[in-house]
Amino acid sequence: MAPETYPRNTLDILEAEAVYVIREVAAQFERPVMLFSGGKDSILMSYLAKKAFWPGKIPFPLMHIDTGHNFDETLEYRDWWMKEIGAQLIVRYVEDSIRQGRVAEEEGPNPSRNAQQTVTLLDALTEFKFDCAMGGARRDEEKARAKERFFSFRNRFGHWDPKNQRPELWNLYNGMKRPGEHFRAFPISNWTELDVWQYMLREQVPLPSLYYTHEREIVRRDGVILALGPYNRLVDGEEAETAWVRFRTIGDMTCTGATESRAHTLEDIVNEIAATRVTERGGRADDRRSEAAMEDRKKQGYF
Amino acid sequence: MDHKTLVKERDLLRFTTAGSVDDGKSTLIGRMLFDTKQIFQDQMDQLEVSSRLRGEENVNLALLTDGLRAEREQGITIDVAYRYFSTAHRKFIIADTPGHEQYTRNMVTGASTADLAIVLIDARNGVLTQSKRHGIIASLLGIPHVVVCVNKMDLVDYSRERFDEIVADYREFAQKLSVHDIEFIPVSALKGDNVVNRSENMPWFEGAPLLQFLENVTIAADRNLVDFRFPVQHVVRPHQDFRGFAGQIVSGTIKIGEEVVALPSMQRSRIKNINFYKAELEEAAEGQSVILTLEDEIDISRGDMIVRRHNIPEVEHEFEATLCWMDERRELKTDTNYILQQTTNRSHALVDEVLYQLDVNTLHRRTEAETLRLNEIGRVKVTTAKPVFFDPYERNRNTGGFILIDPDDFRTVGAGMIRYSSRSTIEELKREERAKRLQTPKSTDLTWDPGLVGPQDRIRRQGHAPLCVWLTGLSGAGKSTIAKEVEKRLFDEGYQITRLDGDNVRHGLNADLGFNREDRRENIRRVGHIARLFHDFGAIVLCTFISPYREERAYVRALFPAPPAAAGAPGPATPATPAGTRTPAFLEVYTKASLAEAERRDPKGLYKRARAGEIHGFTGIDDPYEEPEAPEIILDTDRLSVDEAVEQLAEAIRRASAL
């Protein structure tokens, strides 16, 4: 039969590949976990996990590292979504790590807990003896991620060494390890932001309201639009304004920038992303700190 | 981009780029991203800052792809980096790899998943060792398409002569490779010539600019849709009544009800259901991740493979492979018990012997080598503790590729491509040899002797021009029925006409050939040349062959003089076009019938036998038929009566052979 009889389009290929990787993790590791941040990428990844094992249940728990600086919508959605996909959820709090003195709060008026969550994450991996943590990182997000593997090896300190990664050939992923070593796995490595949204549109995946346009109190700080709230207050000389915005990524409130947008539907979002001239990380304050910011954080064990 | 373009389904092309910084590889990729507007404003801002810090005047496009700090400091790329961009037609994934010999392992890694390789040549330097090495690696890793970009054309005054010279040099070298499709494009990545936009500086170049070529190269035909292979990843068992086998179909297609066996147990069953999430599929194909359930309760676990009963891969403990060594700490040891991972299967394995080491710059074989070190490639013999289910890598990259894992620290130390089981060595060599004969042009030291009787003499005697009429189509489409009638009718009218029939030639000339892909190729190759001899004799020759693959039909077409309109583009092995011939010499006739109709007719009872699994590799059932893209004539036998079809074809022949 002619190849045209079996057409393959990008979304089908990416979906099949992600499902394959998720199944490989489930099969190769004893205690895998899937990280869930409430952002679109982890929603996508958990949705693919549900598809991968249907009619069986997702054979690993999901874990949320809660910075305590979440949007209310994120937590509400998180609890609803876990029921929807029938997953078991574990939550660990950066607040607890700070209280236990494992890590110190950042100084300044609007402290970010982005760096702190790495400690909470590594502690949680040890606590549950997880040997592989799946994350929703994509290679197109940032330069340092362009070289990331599907199966990313971490030494006993949880560190990523860019020079000590295993080559990945064909679709053969080597997850063998010695005691104490573990892996991060990135099933949606090959997806771009536009792929994610087109897939969400195709599959009609329900998403948190933050991704759609809404009216909100914001402040413009260093060219980034930040939502005002309990963890993000005005500093001297700044003025609050009200604007129609939506979020392209969702993370810690202190550093997730919004974009001005009138996108009400998934179709609107796909169109907006296709036309945009700024990367999604362009709106993240944490990536702006230094040119090699991501590379530095990754080496410390950040996702 | 409007909404329609967004939801339009795009396919995916994975390609690899190899070349050093000096060749302008990063600049080329940067140029592609830049000219297709894939670079965002904030990336551009960052780029400007970085370029300025380095004291460069213009924005350095290469910085876009040089990711890690260590690399930027050293000014080289030391790992495989993946880049993404898309156009309205396709999404592209670039595996960007460094080109220096010491990074052979990275090139091999990037090449393992690529559909296409871009090899860069600096127009000033011509074909250097490095460009050859990239071609050799592309060939070893089975990349079907290679595009050679002759870069920095701006520095050689966009000289056509220089380009032609490089093309000729590389072509000569590439004859030694098993890459079937090589394209050459003169570019200047720095200035943007022929990367995304057609160059105004090289009006003499008639081919497509690089991006246009990448958008249009056909990759669908590279897929193996014949050999159904399903390595089991994971067993899904939510309750007593459901036992599903999760995995990705790495090649072939499968339907509900088909008879399968599980390896290594060899237990048989039939496909009960094909599921993916809530979808229940009738059929699934290469690339799809699905869950299969079987009619019978048989014992299957991760690492087993489900295949069709009549199409089983090799199941062996011993085989030969091409191995690339990837570990910088230790060299290959013949007494180490490695772990071999292939599909979802792992086994202990010993590398018994290094047969030779391959010089990746020259293809020279060093038989005195006893081990392989980092970045070295060689031919080895491997023995595994458990049987491995594989196909030769040339036939199936997913079942023919494996990695070796160090038993102490579990690092991936080697990547291998199984060439054949030790048992079937001779058979495979024969096939390789035949396949090569079809691919390679005639030896250059032979000359064509035109003799004393010319084509015009024959035409004058026959009263008509010679012609090859090639009827292709499914078994049962009506090729032979129509051809026999046409032969009779035109013979009665005084034409010098004969017929070559698929079954008939297999009685004698091609009695040694079977129906696998290589044998089919050889069958068509021989028939094509016979048809050409009849043509030269001045006859009209009707050829009735299923000839399912475009590649083979194109091969035959190229044996004949091109029709006047396309004159000047003769095929590879064609002797000169007979002077004065003004008529087309080749008519491709697509005898078109739907599979359902052909199967209903089933004149030889073959479909029934194929469906029953008694014959395998049957066109339309478990082997593809590639429809002609531009046949001269289409006879739709679902609609036409035999008589109508015969008259249509006879008339076309009368016209084409008229003087």
Length of chain B: 659
pLDDT digits (tens, 9 = 90+) for B247-305: 999 999 999 999 999 999 999 999 999 999 989 999 999 999 999 999 999 999 999 99
The distance of A37 to chain B (nearest Cα, Å) reads 24
* Half-sphere exposure of residue A69: CA atoms within 13 angstroms, side-chain side: 24
| B12, B43, B105 ranked by CB distance to A10: nearest | B12
H/E segment holding residue B321: strand B314-325
The distance of A199 to chain B (nearest Cα, Å) reads 10
Catalytic residues of B: 547
Sign of CA dihedral B294, B296, B302, B307: negative
CA–CA–CA angle A223, A226, A228 (5° rounding): 140
* Pairing outcome for strands B242-248 and B81-86: unpaired
Chain A residues near residue B67 by CB distance under 8 angstroms: 143-144, 146-147
Give the residue from chain A lying closest to B223, CA to CA: A3
The distance of B615 to chain A (nearest Cα, Å) reads 16
Q: Is B228 on the interface with A (CB under 8 A)?
A: no
Which of B364, B337, B333 has its CA nearest to residue B348? Answer: B337
Domain boundary among B308, B331, B348: B308
Token pair of B140 as six digits: 């070893």
Chain A residues near residue B241 by CB distance under 8 angstroms: none
Token pair of B75 as six digits: 């000014």
Same domain, B260 and B338: no
The distance of B512 to chain A (nearest Cα, Å) reads 26
Average pLDDT over residues B576-603: 77
Binary contact (B6, A270; C-beta < 8 A):
yes
Chain A residues near residue B275 by CB distance under 8 angstroms: 54-55
Per-residue model confidence (pLDDT) at position B29: 86
B104-108, B573-577, B585-589 — which is least confidently predicted?
Answer: B573-577
- Rounded to whole angstroms, how far apart are CA atoms B12 and A29? 30
Q: Is residue B443 part of a domain?
A: no
Same domain, B269 and B327: no
Q: Is residue B444 part of a domain?
A: no
- Rounded to whole angstroms, how far apart are CA atoms B309 and B301? 18
Q: Is residue B432 part of a domain?
A: no
**Portions of chain A given CATH number 3.40.50.620:** 3-194+292-299
Domain boundary among B194, B221, B248: B221
* Confidence tier at A205 by pLDDT (50, 70, 90): very high
Same domain, B463 and B575: yes
Domain boundary among B186, B221, B256: B221
The distance of B600 to chain A (nearest Cα, Å) reads 17
Binary contact (B3, A165; C-beta < 8 A):
no
A32-36, A239-243, B9-13, B347-351 — which is least confidently predicted?
Answer: B9-13
Chain B residues near residue A271 by CB distance under 8 angstroms: 1, 3, 6
Q: Is A195 on the interface with B (CB under 8 A)?
A: yes
A161-165, B101-105, B234-238, B343-347 — which is least confidently predicted?
Answer: A161-165
Same domain, B46 and B119: yes
Q: Is residue B19 part of a domain?
A: yes
Cis peptide before A111 (omega within 30 of 0): no
Sign of CA dihedral B160, B161, B163, B168: positive
Chain B residues near residue A279 by CB distance under 8 angstroms: 40, 42-43
* CA dist A38 → A74, A76, A190, A193, B66 (Å): 6, 10, 20, 16, 31
Query: B541-574 burial string, b = 16+ CB within 10 Å, else e?
Result: bbbbbbbbbbebbebbbbbbbbbeeeeeebbeeb
Instruction: Tell me the three-class secondary structure of A226-246, residue by residue.
Output: EECECCECCCCCCCCEEEEEE
Binary contact (B67, A146; C-beta < 8 A):
yes
Binary contact (A170, B246; C-beta < 8 A):
no
A182-196, A272-286, B611-625 — which is least confidently predicted?
Answer: A272-286
CATH code of residue B257: 2.40.30.10
**CB contact residues (below 8 A), chain A span 76-115, against chain B:** none
Same domain, B460 and B590: yes
DSSP states of A42-70 as a string? HHHHHHHHHHHHTTSPPSS-EEEEE-S--
Burial class (CB in 10 A: 0-12, 13-18, 19+), B66: buried
Per-residue model confidence (pLDDT) at position B237: 93
Query: Over 80: is that where the pLDDT of B49 sits?
Result: no
Which of B484, B305, B316 has its CA nearest to residue B388? Answer: B316
Is pLDDT larger for residue A225 or for residue B261? B261
Query: Over 60: is that where the pLDDT of A300 sits?
Result: no
Chain B residues near residue A143 by CB distance under 8 angstroms: 67-68
Give the residue from chain A lying closest to B219, CA to CA: A3
Binary contact (B288, A12; C-beta < 8 A):
yes
Average pLDDT over residues B60-77: 57
Tally: H helices and E strands in chain B: 18, 28
Same domain, B189 and B283: no
Token pair of B446 as six digits: 């032979």
Which regions of B505-630 does DSSP assign to beta strands (E)? 540-544, 586-592
Q: Is residue B114 part of a domain?
A: yes
Query: Over 50: is that where the pLDDT of A290 sits?
Result: no
Average pLDDT over residues A245-274: 86
A238-252, B206-220, B466-480, B575-589 — which is least confidently predicted?
Answer: B575-589
Chain B residues near residue A193 by CB distance under 8 angstroms: none
How many domains is chain B built from?
Answer: 4
Q: What three-state secondary structure class fits A77?
A: helix
Is pLDDT larger for residue B502 or for residue B356? B356
- Rounded to whole angstroms, how far apart are CA atoms B228 and B222? 15
Per-residue model confidence (pLDDT) at position B379: 94
Instruction: Tell me the three-class secondary structure of B100-163, residue by residue.
Output: CHHHHHHHHHHHHCCCEEEEEEECCCCCCHHHHHHHHHHHHCCCCEEEEEEECHHHHCCCHHHH
Torsion of CA A78, A83, A88, A93, to 10 degrees: 20
Q: Is B69 on the interface with A (CB under 8 A)?
A: yes
**CB contact residues (below 8 A), chain B span 525-564, against chain A:** none
Query: Over 60: is that where the pLDDT of A293 sits?
Result: no
Helix residue spans in B537-618 (DSSP H)? 550-557, 595-601, 606-611
* Confidence tier at A203 by pLDDT (50, 70, 90): very high
What are the φ and ψ backbone dihedral angles of B415, each rounded to 5 degrees? -130, 130
Torsion of CA B131, B132, B138, B144, to 10 degrees: 90
Average pLDDT over residues B302-322: 93
The distance of B285 to chain A (nearest Cα, Å) reads 7
**CB contact residues (below 8 A), chain B span 257-276, against chain A:** 275-276
Average pLDDT over residues B126-139: 89
Domain that holds residue B377: 317-425
* Half-sphere exposure of residue B548: CA atoms within 13 angstroms, side-chain side: 22
Per-residue model confidence (pLDDT) at position B249: 97
Contact B105, B326 (CB under 8 A): yes
Same domain, B253 and B204: no
Q: Is B288 on the interface with A (CB under 8 A)?
A: yes
Query: Over 80: is that where the pLDDT of B517 sits?
Result: no
pLDDT digits (tens, 9 = 90+) for B203-218: 999 999 999 999 999 8
Q: Beta-carbon neighbour count of residue B534 at 10 Å?
A: 21
Q: Is B626 on the interface with A (CB under 8 A)?
A: yes
| B1, B67, B409 ranked by CB distance to A144: nearest | B67
**CB contact residues (below 8 A), chain B span 458-477, against chain A:** none
The average confidence (pLDDT) of chain B is 85
Q: Is A171 on the interface with B (CB under 8 A)?
A: yes
Q: Is B339 on the interface with A (CB under 8 A)?
A: yes
Share of chain A above pLDDT 70, in %: 87
Per-residue model confidence (pLDDT) at position A116: 81
Chain A residues near residue B68 by CB distance under 8 angstroms: 143-144, 147, 162, 295
The average confidence (pLDDT) of chain A is 86
Q: Has domain A3-194+292-299 been given CATH number 3.40.50.1370?
A: no
DSSP states of B424-452 as a string? GHHHHHHHHHHHHHHHSPPPTT------S
pLDDT digits (tens, 9 = 90+) for A87-144: 999 999 988 888 888 888 877 766 777 778 888 999 999 999 999 999 999 998 877 7
The distance of B103 to chain A (nearest Cα, Å) reads 12
* Confidence tier at A83 by pLDDT (50, 70, 90): very high
Average pLDDT over residues B430-438: 52
Give the residue from chain B lying closest to A283, CA to CA: B42
B50-54, B297-301, B463-467, B478-482 — which is least confidently predicted?
Answer: B50-54
* Confidence tier at B220 by pLDDT (50, 70, 90): confident
Is pLDDT larger for residue B120 or for residue B64? B120
Same domain, B321 and B461: no
Chain B residues near residue A146 by CB distance under 8 angstroms: 65, 67, 81-83
Binary contact (A165, B79; C-beta < 8 A):
yes
**CB contact residues (below 8 A), chain A span 127-146, against chain B:** 139-140, 143-144, 146
A188-192, B109-113, B132-136, B359-363 — which is least confidently predicted?
Answer: B359-363
Same domain, B203 and B173: yes
Which of B557, B560, B565, B559 has its CA nearest to residue B582? Answer: B565
A147-151, B228-232, B447-451, B471-475 — which is least confidently predicted?
Answer: B447-451
Q: Is A282 on the interface with B (CB under 8 A)?
A: yes
Q: Which DSSP category does B279 fall into?
A: E
Same domain, B64 and B84: yes
- Rounded to whole angstroms, how far apart are CA atoms A193 and A270? 9
Binary contact (B50, A24; C-beta < 8 A):
no
pLDDT digits (tens, 9 = 90+) for B549-586: 888 898 899 888 876 544 333 333 344 444 344 467 89
Q: What three-state secondary structure class fits B493?
A: coil
Chain A residues near residue B108 by CB distance under 8 angstroms: 167, 169
Binary contact (A291, B113; C-beta < 8 A):
no
- Rounded to whole angstroms, how far apart are CA atoms B260 and B232? 13
Q: Is residue B103 part of a domain?
A: yes
Binary contact (A194, B86; C-beta < 8 A):
yes
The answer for residues whose C-beta is within 8 angstroms of residue B416's C-beta and 6 or more apart is: B321, B322, B323, B324, B380, B382, B401, B402, B403, B404
A44-48, B129-133, B346-350 — which is least confidently predicted?
Answer: B129-133
* Pairing outcome for strands A182-185 and B116-122: unpaired
- Rounded to whole angstroms, how far apart are CA atoms B626 and B529? 22
Binary contact (A271, B6; C-beta < 8 A):
yes
Average pLDDT over residues A149-157: 88
Give the residue from chain A lying closest to B325, CA to CA: A167
Q: Is residue B44 part of a domain?
A: yes
Contact A181, A156 (CB under 8 A): yes
Token pair of B25 as six digits: 């590889």
The distance of B404 to chain A (nearest Cα, Å) reads 10
Q: Which DSSP category does B412 fall into?
A: E
Q: Is residue B179 part of a domain?
A: yes
Per-residue model confidence (pLDDT) at position B4: 44
Token pair of B314 as six digits: 């090799």
Is pLDDT larger for residue B574 or for residue B488? B488
Same domain, B566 and B421: no
Burial class (CB in 10 A: 0-12, 13-18, 19+), B653: buried
Query: Over 60: is that where the pLDDT of B76 sits?
Result: no
- Rounded to whole angstroms, how far apart are CA atoms A123 and A126? 5
The distance of A52 to chain B (nearest Cα, Å) reads 7
Is pLDDT larger for residue A123 or for residue B64? A123
Same domain, B512 and B471: yes
Binary contact (A295, B69; C-beta < 8 A):
yes
Q: Which DSSP category does B418 fall into?
A: E
